[in-house]
Chains A and B, each alone.
Chain A
């Protein structure tokens, strides 16, 4: 595995070089928060931010995206025919994505890139993207990524892993895409053999700093119906105000809506982020709503992440342990606590159901 040493002095120049071949995205400090944004000329990503408020999922899956354009003008020969707008799938790179956020893209990929159907908007954007990760050396106390199949130095889903060292980044090149990015940036100083050892050492230190954990070993064997009917949902979701913040900040939440918007006779069909926390999400035309009460929606969110996904793909839970939902929840609902309740659920205990 090749490791490149990027001196502090060569960092900015390299990124500027890369901008001639890539659209670069990175964390930018904005008042109290950092958010992933496209970097302007001369703009540098904030590599000191522990975490961004929103995950970088919008680089591939924008909060609102035009799927089609149309005209309803009967004098136009294309009246009522949907046209795919021109899309820019030229190379882009996310600089400073945290390893758990890159792992989240692999989870979301299972939804948008299936054997039967591929969402072209997501798949093309994902393909165009190079993931230049930044190892977590100083984890947030809430971070529980080591127990969700990822971790502070996890390499899956990344093309390059950057590790902060004294006055430099050590860049571990993981894929051909990563190699191409390093070439475009013009970083050529190959690190000595000690670098890999140093990375391993830092990795161990970072992993040891993560003490927050979840366990889901019993959830796999529990039955869906037992967990669904468990009595704890009422208490667990009591405080929820269904604001949907958890689903928006989550790097693995993928639900979306499709809406047409018109301006005179011209219009666009949009794909917009949606949330299972909202009653309209499942409301039938007849007025019937299968998840009409908030507790049902809270249950859906956690059952999806911690049970349905686990059962469907047999590849862990639909959570990477970034803890954004815990930090952002206005009523302190904690996915670690819900996971614990589900994992410790005793099916033989006396239960009442949420109707």
Chain B
């Protein structure tokens, strides 16, 4: 019997500061044992439990794309016991990752469709995975127009800034980067909150267009009415939820929103599905 609680051993290959305030770091992990990378076959939108012996585990969205081989990356905010310890670890250290866990964004449904990605703050990790996945030469033709609205408090708080700049240069993806405010005179992108930039820049909703929304609760709260106004129906609005988790495999009982377990039945739900569950996330 496989032990679903046993993580794959990995070593930290690289640690980079992801934001100017150093509250987020991106960790690149390489599997210690050959064959484990194949077993950890994932889709964009899934998460994993990062396991630090002596501290515990934390559920974190996978930031790398399935098209990137040889490593997996996670961008982790320093919040509690495990993440704070993780921030103090060094390149070369051994730890564990357990997964992939949860469902993913509905890639079969999105095939042949326009995709509008709307992200805020540090909830951009699995969205980054999705963008890299869709832009891969083997996949780009599967999707029609791709729009990305991504905002953070300030330019230095945007994740993956180098990649954002590169995507800006491409003509097969429409980037709408924004910040809440900046005193940088050279800032050449948008200034404004994500909901208002969405209203200005995002395409209208139709049966061929899906929106994926991921961000802090306040951003979600004000973005959903904008999407409705743009004509997105609730089954075309896709969200990724978070709740406290332990097991990640639907057994420990804490992450449910009504009948649904965020760890196993989610974390990805359509707004339609979410509206049918108690708001317990």
Check B244 against A282 for contact (C-beta < 8 Å). yes
- 1/0 per position for A209-244, CB-CB distance to B under 8 A? 000000000000000110010000000000000000
Partner of A276, one of B94, B96, B247, B254: B254
Check A286 against B79 for contact (C-beta < 8 Å). yes
Chain B interface mostly helix, strand, loop or mixed? loop
Check A311 against B4 for contact (C-beta < 8 Å). no
* A42 located at the interface, meaning its Cβ lies under 8 Å from any Cβ of chain B in the complex: no
Check A117 against B259 for contact (C-beta < 8 Å). no
- 1/0 per position for B1-15, CB-CB distance to A under 8 A? 111111101000000
Partner of A123, one of B1, B255, B278: B1
Check A70 against B250 for contact (C-beta < 8 Å). no
CA distance A255 to B57 in the complex (A): 17
- Give the distance to chain B from A27, nearest Cβ to Cβ, in Å: 27
- 1/0 per position for A106-124, CB-CB distance to B under 8 A? 0000011010111110011
The total number of A-B Cβ pairs within 8 Å is 126
* A257 located at the interface, meaning its Cβ lies under 8 Å from any Cβ of chain B in the complex: yes
* B243 located at the interface, meaning its Cβ lies under 8 Å from any Cβ of chain A in the complex: yes
Check B276 against A224 for contact (C-beta < 8 Å). yes
Check B244 against A70 for contact (C-beta < 8 Å). no
Check B253 against A256 for contact (C-beta < 8 Å). yes
Check B254 against A70 for contact (C-beta < 8 Å). no
Contact of A82 with B79 at beta-carbon distance under 8 Å, contacts A255-B253, A256-B252 already known: no
* B258 located at the interface, meaning its Cβ lies under 8 Å from any Cβ of chain A in the complex: yes
Contact partners of B246 in chain A: CB under 8 A: 256-258
Check A111 against B54 for contact (C-beta < 8 Å). no
- 1/0 per position for B42-75, CB-CB distance to A under 8 A? 0000000001011111000000000000000000
Contact partners of B93 in chain A: CB under 8 A: 80
Tell me the nearest residue of chain A to B98, going by C-beta. Answer: A82
Within 8 A of B (CB), among A92-132: 111-112, 114, 116-120, 123-124
The number of residues on chain A lying at the interface, defined by a beta carbon within 8 Å of a beta carbon of chain B, is: 50
Partner of A119, one of B4, B9, B56: B4
- Give the distance to chain A from B273, nearest Cβ to Cβ, in Å: 12
Contact partners of B281 in chain A: CB under 8 A: 290
Contact partners of A114 in chain B: CB under 8 A: 250
User: In this complex, which of A80, A84, A225, A269 has the most chain B Cβ atoms within 10 angstroms of its Cβ?
Assistant: A80
Contact partners of B249 in chain A: CB under 8 A: 116-117
Within 8 A of A (CB), among B219-266: 242-244, 246-247, 249-259, 264
* B280 located at the interface, meaning its Cβ lies under 8 Å from any Cβ of chain A in the complex: yes
Check B4 against A224 for contact (C-beta < 8 Å). no
Interface residues of B (CB under 8 A from A): 1-7, 9, 51, 53-57, 79-80, 83, 93-96, 217, 242-244, 246-247, 249-259, 264, 276-281
**Could you pull out 19 A-B pairs where Cβ atoms are within 8 angstroms?**
A70-B54, A72-B53, A80-B95, A82-B6, A224-B258, A224-B276, A224-B278, A257-B252, A259-B56, A260-B53, A260-B55, A260-B56, A262-B54, A267-B53, A276-B254, A288-B217, A290-B243, A290-B257, A291-B280
Closest 4 CB pairs of A and B: A255-B253, A285-B79, A290-B280, A80-B94
